[in-house]
């Protein structure tokens, strides 16, 4: 097509005024070609001939552009990879997966030479399907149960915490009128073995005159044994046993006095000494906590 266009341009360049200077006006003004039908002659002017040549050139260029556009749409870079092709023999150099991606097809052929294919819902395979489904559900249920147990056990107290939650004390070595201090949950606990005079003194106090009124019988399970937490109710100091104006405990920090039953009698402390939870396991065994 480019050669034809070149020939048209070369033929038209001969009609330019510069190249046709030797020609006479008569030759340019009238050309009488012969007509094979009736033998008559027809005059054609030079400008009309030039216009027809330009029209032919434009027509040839349009055909050339149209042909180039068609060739670009059918043989472009992306058309080769996007156009579906069912001829797999032409892409034998590509891997099978790449060939399947570039050339999708609905005609899938399975290789059945090494295994047997069963239709869906085959009764002979129903037991195997039930076994697989039941086994999977059993595994899922076991995992969920394990996770729930782990979560519940994580919220319960550990063994070291449970060990500190209670303490056993042997009372056989404590003499009457003496006080023993043991540690429970990081706090001191006073264990006092009271005499008969101590018990009478504790019961003879007027409860109405106390800052924190409590009877002695409410604070003890066995009148012989008094168990209280050794922390002052004022600012958390540790009182001294067998001291003070009332024969009980005395806090030297701010001058709080407690009687033989652990009740506040004098000083800034607002409440009596706290009584922990305890149980007499045997005659000489005490469990605190």
Q: What DSSP character marks residue 123?
A: G
Task: Name beta bridge partners: 240.
Answer: 250
Q: How far apart are CA 8 and CA 56, in angstroms?
A: 8
* Catalytic site includes residue 67: no
Measured in degrees and rounded to the nearest 5, phi and psi for residue 184 equal -140, 120
Measured in degrees and rounded to the nearest 5, phi and psi for residue 99 equal -65, -35
Which of 238, 256, 255, 258 lies closest to 247, judged by CA? 258
Beta carbons within 8 Å of 33's beta carbon, 6+ residues apart:
41, 42, 44
Spot the catalytic one: 86, 113, 115, 254: 254
Q: How far apart are CA 74 and CA 83, in angstroms?
A: 10
Q: For residue 82, how many C-alpha atoms fall within 13 Å in the half-sphere facing its CB?
A: 7
Q: How far apart are CA 83 and CA 75, in angstroms?
A: 10
Report the catalytic residues: 254
């Amino acid at each position: 097509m480019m050669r034809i266009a070149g020939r048209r341009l070369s033929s038209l360049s001969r009609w330019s005024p510069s190249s046709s200077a030797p020609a006479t006006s008569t030759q340019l003004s009238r050309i009488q070609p012969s007509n094979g039908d009736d033998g008559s002659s027809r005059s054609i002017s030079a400008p009309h001939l030039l216009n027809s040549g330009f029209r032919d050139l434009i027509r040839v260029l349009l055909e050339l552009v149209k042909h180039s556009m068609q060739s670009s749409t059918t043989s472009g870079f992306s058309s080769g990879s996007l156009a579906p092709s069912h001829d797999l023999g032409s892409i034998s150099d590509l891997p099978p997966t790449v060939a399947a991606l570039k050339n999708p097809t609905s005609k899938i052929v399975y290789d059945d030479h090494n295994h047997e294919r069963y239709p869906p819902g085959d009764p002979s395979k129903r037991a195997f399907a039930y076994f697989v489904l039941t086994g999977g559900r059993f595994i899922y249920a076991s995992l969920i149960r394990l996770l729930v147990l782990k979560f519940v056990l994580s919220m319960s107290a550990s063994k070291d915490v449970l060990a500190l939650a209670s303490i056993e004390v042997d009372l056989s070595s404590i003499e009457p009128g003496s006080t023993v201090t043991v540690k429970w949950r990081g706090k001191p606990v006073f264990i006092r073995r009271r005499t008969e005079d101590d018990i009478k003194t504790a019961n003879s106090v007027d409860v109405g005159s106390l800052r924190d009124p409590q009877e002695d019988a409410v604070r003890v399970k066995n009148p012989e044994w008094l168990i209280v937490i050794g922390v002052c109710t004022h600012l958390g100091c540790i009182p001294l046993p067998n001291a003070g104006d009332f024969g009980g405990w005395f806090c030297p920090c701010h001058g709080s006095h407690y009687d033989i039953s652990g009740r506040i009698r004098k000083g800034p402390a607002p409440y009596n000494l706290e009584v922990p939870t305890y149980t007499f396991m045997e005659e000489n065994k005490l469990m605190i906590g």
